[in-house]
Structure 1
């Protein structure tokens, strides 16, 4: 520890404050600032080209999605802590951070309830064809009927259906609990390519074949990149639905768009895409304009008021812990 740290200010740079809703920064719900003496600088958004210039003298970076590559981290000699306002850390080169002595602290579990409930909401939307029924009413479909109801779209029971969960972490387990309360049978997938299965798990391919609904709740890394692709989609039931509230890169987007258009599977609900915000030529965004069985929400499953408050509280606690351990007062 530097002997002067006790009297020095900790320089903190929030690179992408705009990644959180403005309501969390209002006085009524404002999160507290770190307890040690500090300088706080914030930016609404920071592109990869501007990270080094904005954080060149900072000790702590706060970020949700700013890209922190090896080259970027190596150019920030004063950086000691990256406080991630998220659970996922796939935007950070963790190997480089460790080699450079930079601590990375995320916030696991803050949005478990919100994300799990979003998965369940998507199950209801898909199984009951809610998007298709809603689109019909935009064109006065119901008003033109002679009977009190019409039957253009399938409505399928949730109770009795099999939910396959890929990723049995905190969120995956909570999704399972909620689904079981609805009468669903839950099965967990072993890692793809595993030579054996742990107790309580089924082989990855078997889960794809058996499930009526597949929920992706695993992290994105080299082994899970494009976990859902043309080959694995072909294993699914034609009546199966895929839900992704984890990371967009888990899915080969071109393969999924084609599978939906060719009715290889029955539908999909996504809260994340590979690039966010998506480009205009994203195949799934294009497909969503015409497919009533594709539901896309803009990566908001984690944004309940209680989740956001807990996220910022835990982020500041991570900074406080670093400051206390390193003599900043």
Structure 2
């Protein structure tokens, strides 16, 4: 098979040997919109993380038999067009769960302990000026005893719940907004009103877009911390920046934005308050996570070559 990887830079230098062992392999660090056709010509298998493969593009690539998405989300591939054109599509799920969970709690513990502020003070020489052995300029709070609401209870949400319970938090599961409340769930608005920490782990859909906006932020406790390691667009960024500036909530940790890479005009990028930690969509990207991702993609390709269906969406 002729296998082409369109954006190898998104795999952070991880060994691509599993792909090389499957056929004639070619890779490009990145592929612009203008380069998609040129880079993809002659490929039986295309691997893409974020390169968009729309109907117009796919119609010009008659050799392509399989698209492997190097991610769980497949919004960059036109699945309907792929099906109509007889192109199989496979993704990878679950590979990044430990990585995302770890980053989620890195954000939570940093914000609860104001660790980022203390680190900055140490770098600025403030500890040396202290009148006592330590500095207690900012609050330091524990996860234990806090109510942590999880929005989105798939594999990630369940893994976050496990760790939160280990910390001694009281975990509640938010029901989908305006849906009947299932056993073991808490009505959506009640969940966000009662939570000290809210962690978002649902997919971005028409239903979840702007799921948390000004109205929801106004309902949260002034001490609440909001974490989004899911998808940009679930939390309204303008409304969140305003809520942080006005101290409507205590803090937020955000790893994803509506438009990525970030733009200077994004209200969270331009926000300078100490109660926001913004990271550049890295929650998924531990070295171990990417190694698992490459392995799973190679297994998807191998299965396809043997006429088997593995992680197929189309």
1:32 to 9, 13, 18: 18
In the alignment, the residues of structure 1 paired with residue 11 and residue 186 of structure 2 have an alpha-carbon distance, to the nearest angstrom, of 37
1:64 touches 1:85 (CA, 8 Å); kept in 2?
yes
Superposed displacement of residue 40, structure 1: 1.6
Matched, 1:74 2:49: no
* TM-score of the two chains, using structure 2 as the length reference: 0.92
Q: Corresponding residue for 2:274?
A: 292
Matched, 1:317 2:290: no
SS in 1 for 2:18: coil
Matched, 1:18 2:9: yes
Q: Corresponding residue for 1:3?
A: none
Matched, 1:270 2:261: no
Superposed displacement of residue 202, structure 1: 1.5
SS in 2 for 1:202: coil
Q: Corresponding residue for 2:312?
A: none
In the alignment, the residues of structure 2 paired with residue 221 and residue 95 of structure 1 have an alpha-carbon distance, to the nearest angstrom, of 17
The CA deviation string for residues 265-323 of structure 1, in whole angstroms up to 9 with x for no partner, is: 11111222222221122221211xx3111112222222222222111011001011111
Q: Corresponding residue for 1:136?
A: 121
In the alignment, the residues of structure 2 paired with residue 227 and residue 311 of structure 1 have an alpha-carbon distance, to the nearest angstrom, of 29
In the alignment, the residues of structure 1 paired with residue 153 and residue 18 of structure 2 have an alpha-carbon distance, to the nearest angstrom, of 33
In the alignment, the residues of structure 2 paired with residue 221 and residue 55 of structure 1 have an alpha-carbon distance, to the nearest angstrom, of 29
1:11 touches 1:39 (CA, 8 Å); kept in 2?
yes
Superposed displacement of residue 15, structure 1: 0.5
Aligned length, in residue pairs? 308
1:261 to 238, 245, 249: 245
2:76 to 82, 88, 91: 91
1:230 to 206, 209, 214: 214
User: Where does structure 1 lack aligned partners over 5 or more consecutive residues?
Assistant: 1-9
SS in 1 for 2:92: coil
The CA deviation string for residues 149-181 of structure 1, in whole angstroms up to 9 with x for no partner, is: 343311112101011111111111001000100
Superposed displacement of residue 58, structure 1: 2.1
Q: Corresponding residue for 2:157?
A: 172
User: Where does structure 2 lack aligned partners over 5 or more consecutive residues?
Assistant: 309-314
SS in 1 for 2:158: helix
SS in 2 for 1:312: helix
The verdict on how the C-alpha distance between 1:31 and 1:177 changes in structure 2, with shifts beyond 3 A counting, is farther
Superposed displacement of residue 62, structure 1: 0.3
Matched, 1:220 2:204: yes
Superposed displacement of residue 99, structure 1: 3.1
The CA deviation string for residues 17-51 of structure 1, in whole angstroms up to 9 with x for no partner, is: 011111x12xxxx5423665x32221100112221
Q: Corresponding residue for 1:283?
A: 267
Superposed displacement of residue 187, structure 1: 0.9
In the alignment, the residues of structure 2 paired with residue 293 and residue 168 of structure 1 have an alpha-carbon distance, to the nearest angstrom, of 26
Q: Corresponding residue for 1:191?
A: 176
1:31 touches 1:312 (CA, 8 Å); kept in 2?
no
